[in-house]
Every structure is written in C-alpha cells, then in structure tokens.
Structure 1
Amino acid sequence: MSLPDGVVRREFDGEDRLATRGTPVYGEPTDGEWRLWDARRSKLGAMLELGMDTGLAGGDSVLYLGAASGTTVSHVADFAGPTYAVEFASRPARDLLDAAADRERLFPLVKDARKPETYAHVVESGLDAVVQDVATSGQARVSTLNRRFLAEDGRLVAAYKARSEDVTADPDDVFDDVLAELEAEFEILETERLDPFHDDHLGVVATPK
C-alpha cells in the first residue's frame, strides 16, 4: 500500500513512523520540517499504519468530519488540497482555529456534521474524500448525510467507534449494523479493526453507489 504524496516514513527515536511536513500542533516530535503523525492519537493515521488502501492522494479535496482540536486534520491539510474541517464543540474548535492559522488550505467550520445543510453553501461538491471520526451515535447516518459532497469516484474514509453507538453491545454486532446501514449508499471497499492503536474501532473505506 502506497502512502499519499506528502506522507512519508521517517525515523523518530529509532522507530519508522509516519510523518507530514508542517507546523507542529499537538506537541508531536519533529525532524526538521517533518512532524510525527502519531497513529495512537489519530484514527486515520492508524488506518495508514495498518496498510489500509484509503485512496487518499496528495492534493485531494477533503471534507473532514469530527475535526476536534485539529490533531489529524492538520496532517491531512499538510498533504491534501482544500480541507474543510467540521467540528461542533466550541472548546476544541478554538484549538482547530489555531492549527489552521499556519495552513492556508485548512478551513475550519464550527458546524454539526449531522446537519450538512448548514455548511453546504461553503463546502464544494465533487470532493475527492470525506474523512470521518465523529464520536456520536448514528455514525453511519452522518456518513450517508454527507455523501452529497463526494464525487462519483470519491472515497469515504471513516473510523467508527462501537462505544459511541452502544456501550453495552458487542462491538462486532455494532459494526455489522453500521456496515448494513452504509451499504444502502456506499460500496464497501475495505474494513479493518484499528487495534492495537484504538480499541473497538472499525476503519472503513467506501465509495458512493
């Protein structure tokens, strides 16, 4: 599996790790212009570390759902094209704004990913990718609602958290339900559990039907 252009492997403390070129955001180690992309703090980073074929490429136009304080979306903006970062909570959104200050391709949107109509006037259609990491119930519903922004050959690259759906249910059952809902709108290309980086998370790569 090849990494997106602009994502490389470099040695940090004797380990071969993912890195992107950009300004540090969350206290991550650096090597010159390169910053460590910590897979233990990033679901997308874990997907890349595990060899999933995300289909992401340098210069892609991206809608990132669940941007939080900017940990992962800042890495995405380091290698992608225009990157729209949606985050609903005001406190992490302030940190997201700081991360965007040094990144001219990163556009923070303090919006609710469950209500794409509130940012449809800002986000272009025909995007190369929707990247999702939203810790809320109804995660598959969020994906289907935001399908509208994807190009016909675009990619959904999502991490689904079982405990956000049902803290008491078996994660395998939760993921079966998530995939069944997604399959109404998407062709599932690849799935993989994100252990050991993130417990009870499922990485999914899909494309619109």
Structure 2
Amino acid sequence: MAKKRTNIMPIIEDARHPSKYRMLVGIVDVIFSDVAQPDQARILALNAAYFLKTGGPFVLSIKANCIDSTMPAGKVYDSEVDRLRADLLKPAEMVALDRFKRDRACVVGSYRVPKKQKTSA
C-alpha cells in the first residue's frame, strides 16, 4: 500500500515507544490505531501526544479479549473509553462491531479539542 500511496509510510517499530521513530514522523492529521495489545488506549494516547495535531481525529479499534478476557466486552469498552478521556482524548462515538466480529468495537473522537471561545454580542 505504501508504494501506491505516498502519504503512507511503513514503520517497523514498537508502537509503545514513539520516541524511537519520532524523527521519521511529523504532525499527522489523523491516527488509526488497530493494535492487539492490553494497553492499546495508552499506546494511542502516547502516539497522539507525539504526532496528532490539536483537534485531530482518531479511530481506535478495540479488541476486548486482548485487553481482558475475563471481563464482559461492554465493560472493557467502557474502561478503554475512560482511559482515553484521561489522556486528553475526547471519544465522540463508540460502535460495537459484534455483527461482524465478536468482542470488537470502534471508537472515534478527537485529541486536545480546543475549548470554544466565548463570543460577546
């Protein structure tokens, strides 16, 4: 895909350590995160802090069984959304994908959403 699309660059590195590839990546418009790791919300937050522009959107694919296979999927989703909020990420919508893949959900939102300016009339 990277050969056909010039705005995509493959990076063979551990997403948990964005400082190792920070010199390869500038500020990005959007982050799509699909990592099967127990700390995937934290990984997204770390990479957003390094690379995502203020107000930039993110998409997080949650795999409940990879995070905690002992909890119901719905509780895992809620826990991940809470973790996102704690790291300056503002989830806007979560969609369970059970129709397509069991124990999966997708969360979309924005990073460091600027506060609305008060306007005087």
What TM-score range do you get, normalising by the shorter chain?
0.7 to 0.9
TM-score of the superposed pair, with normalisation by structure 1: 0.50
Q: Tell me which amino acid in the other structure corresponds to 2:6.
A: E
In the TM superposition, what is the alpha-carbon distance from 1:108 to its structure 2 partner?
A: 0.8
Structure 1 residues 128 and 105: alpha-carbon distance in aligned structure 2, compared to 1, 3 A threshold:
closer
- Using the alignment, how far apart are the partners of 2:37 and 2:99 within structure 1? 22
CA distance in 2, matches of 1:200, 1:116: 28
Instruction: Map 1:1-209; keep pairs closer than 5 Å.
Output: 74=1, 100-125=2-27, 127-148=28-49, 149-184=51-86, 185-209=88-112
Distance 1:147 1:103, change over 3 A: closer
Aligned-pair CA distance for 1:202: 1.3
Alignment gaps of 5+ in structure 2 = 113-121
* Residue identity (%): 34
Amino acid at match of 2:3: A
Count of equivalent residues: 110
RCO greater where, 1 or 2, for CA within 8 Å and sep 6 or more?
2
Gaps of 5+ in 1: 1-73, 75-99
SS in 1 for 2:32: strand
Deviating runs (4+, > 4 A) in structure 1?
none
**For each residue in 1:59-115, what CA deviation from the matched residue of structure 2 results, as whole angstroms up to 9, or x when unmatched?**
xxxxxxxxxxxxxxx4xxxxxxxxxxxxxxxxxxxxxxxxx3344332111011111
Instruction: Give 1:176 deviation, angstroms.
Output: 1.3
Answer 1 or 2: which has greater strand percent: 1
When the two chains are superposed, the root-mean-square deviation of aligned CA atoms in Å is: 1.3
1:144-186 alpha-carbon deviations (Å, 9 max, x no partner) = 1111211112111111100001112111111111011101121
> Which AA in structure 2 matches 1:147?
A
